[in-house]
Structure 1
Amino acid sequence: MERVVDFAENDSLRRLLGSYDSGSKLIEDEFGVVLISRGSKVKVRGEDSKVLMVEDFLRKMAPLLHKHPQSDDSLVSDAVYAYLNDTNVDLPGLFYEQIKVPSRDADIYPKTSNQKRYVRLMRTCDIVFSIGPAGTGKTYLAMAIAVSSFFSKKVKRIVLARPAIEAGERLGFLPGDFREKVTPYLRPLYDALYDMIPMNKATYLIENGAIEIAPLAYMRGRTLNGSFAILDEAQNTTPEQMKMFLTRLGKGSRAVITGDITQIDLPAGQVSGLVQVQSVLSSIRGIEFIYFSSADVVRHNLVQKIIDAYEAFGRPQAAAPEPVAQTSVDRGKGEGAAG
């Protein structure tokens, strides 16, 4: 089958094809078709179902390429994977859901339909729980909303907390003062923050108390007014710690709690606060839960396959049927047949 899509603008087509035809090659590899471009038109060849799918994808891409200022190659690759995860996705709407961070040169935007809903929930709900595997943007997007809210003066400060739990290994004695001792546990939060705000400016805001990064234990006894609070790695909280964090919120504050309940590092037999809270708070209006899967992974494309492989490996395997014991009658029949 062969279909033709006219982009009307050569520039839009150039952005689709990408530098060194990277976009074109990606589309051909992921959809299993052949693309032939000439002028402002793209010819799609291949199996009927695949050609129709690519035609639909390209028609959805045209308005996105026309208006979106993002770098070409990443835009096309993000759109391809978003479409393959959900062929009914509204690509223009998905990628226009931008998070403006004044300290960054480029806006941040959700890359899957689930991430888009996550962004909307964080903008409209006071407490949001995001649960899912690593690489799905739970912490990064929460940090983006927090920083955006701070610079737009919707909140007065940002509070970032994490339980000081080691991930399956013992770090032993850590030298230095309080900050030096806890920094290894909080490093992922610093990394996300420095991607939003230049290090020198972030350091200034931290020193002045506008941004606070601390272990969860240091939240006890406090009231957080006018704050955007993020609790990361919440699967490693106890039920008591989870309750303590949630009850810190004061007037004008919002909280996002992130975690992966498949990576709990608590002692054996200890209930995770993130697991329990789903039963305790799921029916309360104003509190929302959103669940991510491997389809939402936005790290290296192998990460999604790694998560799927581990999930498949962890599923109970069907037991092999027990061999049927042979009776003397059966053996006799067998011997007769053989003879």
Structure 2
Amino acid sequence: MPVSKTLTYPSARHASQLYCAAEDNLARAEKILGVRLVTRDDWLKLDGPAETVARAEEFFSLLNTGRAQGLAYRTPDFLRLLDLYARDDGTALRSLINDPVVIATRRKSIVPKTLGQKLYLQAIQRNPVVFGIGPAGTGKTYLAMAAAISALLKNQVQRIILTRPAVEAGETLGFLPGDLREKILPYLRPLYDALHDMLDAADVTALSEKGVIEIAPLAYMRGRTLANAYIILDEAQNTTPEQMMMFLTRLGDESRMIVTGDITQIDLPRAKVSGLVQAPRILRNIPGIDFHHFTPADVVRHPLVQKILEAYEQAKNGEPNGPHA
């Protein structure tokens, strides 16, 4: 039996933000949820069978709850969450929204946008060593950086160390022009970009000058013990097993490590095994080490990126180190 339900919000702007003020998004929601949607000013009216209207009401209620927690929706986010809700009986989206994980940094609060991102952050909170493995655009490095900055601001650690292998230069940077900073900057630029998204530029400069935030190639970690620090190894698919072991054994007292990488984007010579491919087989049974695997469903870039990744996954030819970029 058809029913109608009208959802009312504090303002017209508040209502339109839930579907990104895009009529196409409402049309998509109508098709997925099986209801008719009409919106005017500060209200959204749902018409359809009682069961589907109840589901649609829950979906928009969850969006509203997420918005109150700090989620700012763009059209890709709306479509992603709509598909997530439609994928099962709503369990995944309810879990994502109703049990929030919020990472506070100086410039913004960061909320996971997918269930995979949330489980990743929960693993980071529980374990001293976490591996985040998965395709580009899933937030592996960004969320790791957010967790590190939040821990620093709460005085849970005294410093942050960010590193990645400069594999394109073979970690022999001497032939490149400029001083050390100029030599390594092209390889570490993505880490700086994430820092500036979460901290004011003056804070990044001051903390870097004081050594509270250190960004360096992986080769510079050799021979050190890193205590009371948050240590992130990015692009770990480009480490050899020897480099991975060297990095992991730098772990000191009161420190935490996050290792991120995409095993489909290995730049090592084909004869070399990736340390990120090997690590899960060797370390999987050690308490305190957690392996989180992202999927294309966790991609938070343009929706086409997810489809591109899925297409490449289907075409993968089974090379032990994955296709080389």
Bin the TM-score by the shorter chain: 0.7 to 0.9
- The Cα shift of 1:4 comes to 3.1
Match of 1:123 among 106, 109, 125: 125
| 1:99 maps onto 2:120 in alignment | no
Note closer, same or farther for the CA distance 1:77–1:172 as it changes in structure 2 (3 Å cut): farther
Which of 59, 62, 74 aligns to 1:60? It is 62
The aligned runs of 1:262-273 (5 Å cut-off) are 262-273=264-275
Aligned residues of 2:4 and 2:47 also touching (Cα < 8 A):
no
Most deviating of 215-224 and 39-48: 39-48
The code of the aligned residue for 1:248 comes to R
Displacement of 1:121:
1.0
- SS of the residue corresponding to residue 160 of structure 1 reads strand
Task: Tell me, in whole angstroms, the C-alpha distance in 2 between the residues paired with 1:20 and 1:126.
Answer: 39
Number of matched residues?
A: 308
| Alpha-carbon spacing, 1:69–1:288, altered in 2? closer, same or farther (3 Å) | closer
Residues 3 and 161 of structure 1, relative CA distance in 2, 3 Å threshold: farther
Contact 1:13–1:40, Cα closer than 8 Å, also in 2: yes
Match of 1:322 in 2: none
Instruction: Give the direction of change, closer, same or farther, for the CA distance of 1:300–1:6 in structure 2 (3 Å limit).
Output: same
Q: Which residue pairs with 1:4 in the alignment?
A: 4
What's the CA shift for 1:63? 3.9
Out of 197, 200, 203, the position equivalent to 2:199 is 197
| CA contact 2:12–2:42 (8 Å) conserved in 1 | yes
Structure showing greater Rg: 1
Residue matched to 1:110: 112
- Which runs of structure 2 are paired with 1:39-54 in the superposition (5 Å)? 42-45=44-47, 53-54=55-56
* SS at structure 2 position matched to 1:189: helix
TM-score (norm 2): 0.84
Change beyond 3 A, Cα 1:53–1:184 = same
Identity of aligned residues (%): 48
Give runs of aligned pairs for residues 189-228 of structure 1, distance below 5 A: 189-228=191-230
Alpha-carbon distance in structure 1 between the residues aligned to 2:161 and 2:23:
43
Distance 1:63 1:24 in 2: 21
Partner of 1:15: 14
Give how far 1:58 is off: 2.3
Q: Conserved in 2, the CA contact under 8 Å of 1:97 and 1:110? A: yes
> Distance in 1 between the 2:71 and 2:311 partners?
32
1:162-215 Cα shifts (integer Å, max 9, x gaps):
000129xxx995310111111111111111111111222101111110000000
TM-score normalised to structure 1 length: 0.81
Structure 1 distance, partners of 2:192, 2:282, is 31
Say if 1:6 and 1:280 are closer, same or farther in 2 by CA, change over 3 A.
same
Alignment partner, residue 28 of structure 2 = 29
Unaligned runs of 5+ residues in structure 1 are 317-339
Does residue 284 (structure 1) correspond to residue 283 (structure 2)? The answer is no
Q: Tell me by how many angstroms 1:269 deviates.
A: 1.4
| CA pair 241-21 structure 1, distance change in 2 beyond 3 A | closer
Instruction: Go from structure 1 to structure 2 and tell me whether the alpha carbon gap of 1:258 and 1:64 turns closer, same or farther (over 3 Å shift).
Output: closer
- What do residues 79-102 of structure 1 show as CA deviations (whole Å, max 9, x unaligned)? 4354345531225325x321111x
Aligned to 1:245: 247
RMSD: 2.9
Give the secondary structure class of the aligned counterpart of 1:130: strand
Match of 2:323 in 1: none
Query: Cα 1:21–1:263, aligned 2, differ >3 Å: closer, same or farther?
Result: closer
